[in-house]
Structure 1
Amino acid sequence: MPETRPTTTPPATRHEDRVAQASQSPGAVTRLAASWRRSMVKHGLDPARPPVQHRLTERELALRIERMDRFIAVARPQLDQLFQLVCPTGCNLLLTDPEGIVLEHRVSEGDAATFRDWGLWRGMDWSEEVQGTNGIGTCLAEGRQVTIHRDEHFYASNTGLSCMDAPIWGPDGRLIAALDVSSARADHTERLNALIAAQVAHSARAIEAAFFRVSFPGARIITAQAPGSDEAGLLIAVDKDDLAIGANRAARRAFGLEKEGQLRPRPASDLLGRDDDTTGFEKAERAAVIRALARAEGNVSAAARALGVGRATLYRRMQRLGISENPGRLSRG
């Protein structure tokens, strides 16, 4: 009897075959394979075919920009700063809406033609539904920071790109944008991409924090820390009555608040709890009051005006936070 050898599936050599093979299993074990499977099975895309380049009309793009004009205005300084850092490396910078439509981009004149040919331009659709696995689309689909390096893209025609992306969350806890830096240079290593990705994430958080602050005019913005949590970047908006009226996504998750939408106002002290130990929130509030008093050279009335509260309210806070009035240093004003 001839020996029967077990049959094995030969490894795929072409990119499109490798994507198709990895997408066949419903239980894709990696995030990349899961994204490839979504692209092929859910969105019906073929990695061997060139992607359909979908670009909005000028009117359609103008309407989207108008809806997000306040956010874009806040983001622009950070976009300019980030571009100055990545421009010398031949990168393109993009800001999209939550559907993956490019609203803003920064690119040097010498690299503009290259990225225009790739479709990395204002008005282009880089959602996962259209482009398959890619930095922008996959970042938005999964709501997390991603780097899609060259042959990790779904489409074979996109494997010349490396894309570093971070999500930006709005003050209502919903995904509002993606920040992308893309490179088409073959000499960009994964190590360099990791450095760029870290800067992209930092800029995304800076945009997120800046937009949170302008979304609550007149409120004090407190950088808080949940008891037992080491998560950074927790922002709480507190009004003149000491009610917490807003919280960014990180704070919502850390304190178990409403996941999305408008925050139900609640006393800041109730939100963060009161016990014998001073909470991270109270430490931050105490520091804010002391700074205001120091800037006002001890004048309580002036400090209250700087904090946007009444003098009586400030006195109550000072008492609650254990800031005693020193007649030699504080003035009632």
Structure 2
Amino acid sequence: MMLTAHTTGLRHADRVAATVQESASAARSVVAASWRRSMMYHGLDPSIRRTPLRVEAPELHRARERNGRLLEIAEPTLERLFATAASAGCCVVLTDVEGLILTSNSAPGDEGDFDAWGLSAGAIWSEASEGTNGIGTCVAEKRPVIIHQDQHFRTQNTAMSCMGAPVFDHAGRMVAVLDVSSCRRDLTLSFAQVLGLVVTESARAVESDLFRTAYTGSKIVVAEGHGAGGVSLLAVDGDDLVVGATRQARKTLGLSEEALSLSPSLHEVLGAPAAVRNPHGTERSAIRRALARARGNVSAAARDLGVGRATMYRKMARYGIEA
């Protein structure tokens, strides 16, 4: 975040307050916008010291149960990320979409320190609770963020560096934040940025695994926009109809939930040549798309295809299609 001349040299709490008072600062900086939300919307004071809020063990258990599939699918990626980040004195955490830490992993000698900082399972790192931080601000912005040391809202957190990235499920909903945090003062912004890239790639790996698991048995197609912008995948069934799309694919290809509900063909979505299948494949796909457009109304679908209702039922029976 760029500092103005009159905020440089002020103590942290005063610098936060001065930046918040500059109405234009929020438009120039993610951090300034978050500071403004923290102070003006959530009513937080950067100078007040307190330990992060924690949920009781039963509530944490319920949260982990609700997110059991996510934790199971993410575990291999979390282990790989930890193997990279632990040597740099960092901990790896996965939170739910409310900023509640579901799981935290740190080197045995560092566990006590990270627990004291509130970076352990059960702690809540929402913006409403802790102000600007790598987890809560990631939730608010729905994009990867790096909050390096004195970019944090609370003075007590200015020794920390947090690199958070969102995880979206198969339907494009944000379901988690993957975060790597360090409490070492010698962690430079440049190194934090490198770690941030690793965290983002790891979050995308989890996202891909969530999508592939949700559409087991479907063909997974890499779509336009895959890469720097995010994970852009389509799930395609045996009739070459698109039955699922990641958030990035929806954004890049202009696919709304309504459009997906109409079972578009891969050819319609990508403008690519239709796959060569059995002689009846095209007709079967056309019937399924017509039924989808008609919301299951067989008579309306038959009119759409220009056939009689009885003919439509015969064709549906032939291909094993139900309304």
TM-score (norm 1): 0.77
Would the aligned equivalents of 2:239 and 2:281 in 1 still touch at CA under 8 Å? Answer: no
Supply the AA of the counterpart residue of 2:146: T
Distance 2:216 2:229 in 1: 25
Per-residue CA deviation, residues 35-56 of structure 1 (Å, 9 max, x unaligned), is: 1000000000000101452111
**Secondary structure of the equivalent of 2:47?**
coil
Question: How far apart, CA to CA, are the structure 1 residues paired with 2:9 and 2:97?
Answer: 34
Correspondence for 2:54: 55
Q: Offset of 1:93 from its aligned partner? A: 0.5
State which of 267, 271, 274 in structure 2 corresponds to 1:273.
271
8 A contact 2:92–2:106 mirrored in 1: yes
Give the CA deviation at 1:191: 1.5
Contact 1:246 1:263 in 2 (8 A): no
* Contact 1:172/1:261, CA 8 A, preserved across alignment: no
Give me the whole-angstrom Cα distance separating, in 2, the residues matched to 1:66 and 1:313. Answer: 47
Q: Does 1:155 align with 2:154?
A: yes
> Residue in 1 aligned with 2:103?
104
Q: CA deviation at 1:315?
A: 8.6
SS of 2:278's equivalent in the other structure is helix
- Structure-1 separation of matches of 2:230 and 2:68: 28
Match for residue 237 of structure 1?
A: 235
- Matched to 2:271, the amino acid is G
How many positions carry a matched residue from both structures?
A: 277
Amino acid at match of 1:224: A
**Residues 207 and 231, structure 2, Cα contact 8 Å, conserved in 1:** no
Residue 208 of structure 1 corresponds to 207
Percent identity for Structure 1 against Structure 2: 41
Matches of 1:49 and 1:313 in 2, distance apart?
A: 71
Residues 35 and 254 of structure 1: is their aligned pair in 2 closer, same or farther, counting only changes over 3 Å? same
2:66 is the counterpart of 1:67: yes
Q: How many Å separate the matches in 1 of 2:97 and 2:163?
A: 16
Change (3 A) 1:134 1:261: farther
> Displacement of 1:154 after TM fit?
0.1
Corresponding residue for 1:297?
none
Partner of 1:301: none
Distance 1:91 1:245 in 2: 39
Tell me the CA shift for residue 262 of structure 1. 7.1
Q: Distance in 2 between matches of 1:124 and 1:93?
A: 14
Q: Could you tell me which residue of structure 2 aligns to residue 184 of structure 1? A: 183
Q: How far apart, in 2, do the equivalents of 1:72 and 1:62 lie?
A: 13
| Per-residue Cα deviation, 1:258-312 (whole angstroms, up to 9, x for no partner) | 26997542212112225xxx6xxx7xx79xxxxxxxxxxxxxxxxxxxxxxxx73
For each residue in 1:200-232, what CA deviation from the matched residue of structure 2 results, as whole angstroms up to 9, or x when unmatched?
A: 1110110000110001122111112269x9856
Residue in structure 2 matched with residue 14 of structure 1 by the alignment:
11
Residue type matched to 1:267 in 2?
Answer: S
Label 1:231 to 1:87 Cα distance change in 2 as closer, same or farther (>3 A): closer
Moved over 6 A (4+): 259-262, 313-316
CA–CA distance in 1 between the matches of 2:145 and 2:10?
A: 25
Distance 1:230 1:26, change over 3 A: closer
Distance 1:42 1:51, change over 3 A: farther
Mapping for residues 1-333 of structure 1, pairs under 5 Å: 13-27=10-24, 28=26, 29-225=28-224, 233-258=231-256, 263-274=261-272, 312=278
Counterpart residue type for residue 60 of structure 1: E
Over 3 Å counting, the alpha-carbon distance change for 1:149 and 1:11 in structure 2 is closer
Paired AA for residue 242 in structure 1: D
The verdict on how the C-alpha distance between 1:187 and 1:200 changes in structure 2, with shifts beyond 3 A counting, is: same
Q: Secondary structure at the match of 1:165?
A: strand
SS in 1 for 2:135: helix
What is the aligned-residue RMSD (CA, Å)? Answer: 2.7
Q: State the AA in 2 paired with 1:234.
A: S
Q: Cα distance 1:242–1:249, how it changes in 2: closer, same or farther (>3 A)? A: same
Alpha-carbon distance between aligned partners in 1 of 2:259 and 2:113, rounded to the nearest angstrom? 40
Q: Give the Cα–Cα distance (whole angstroms) in 1 for the partners of residues 40 and 51 of structure 2.
A: 17
Give the residue type in structure 1 aligned to 2:129.
Answer: V
Residues 261 and 66 of structure 1, relative CA distance in 2, 3 Å threshold: farther
Change (3 A) 1:129 1:85: same
| Deviation of the 1:156 alpha carbon | 0.1
TM-score by length of 2: 0.79
1:163 and 1:183 in contact (8 A); partners too: yes
Structure 1 Cα separation of the partners of residues 268 and 42 of structure 2: 46
Say if 1:165 and 1:200, in contact at 8 Å, map to a contact too: yes
- Contact persistence 1:244–1:265 (CA under 8 A): yes
Q: Distance in 2 between matches of 1:161 and 1:83?
A: 18
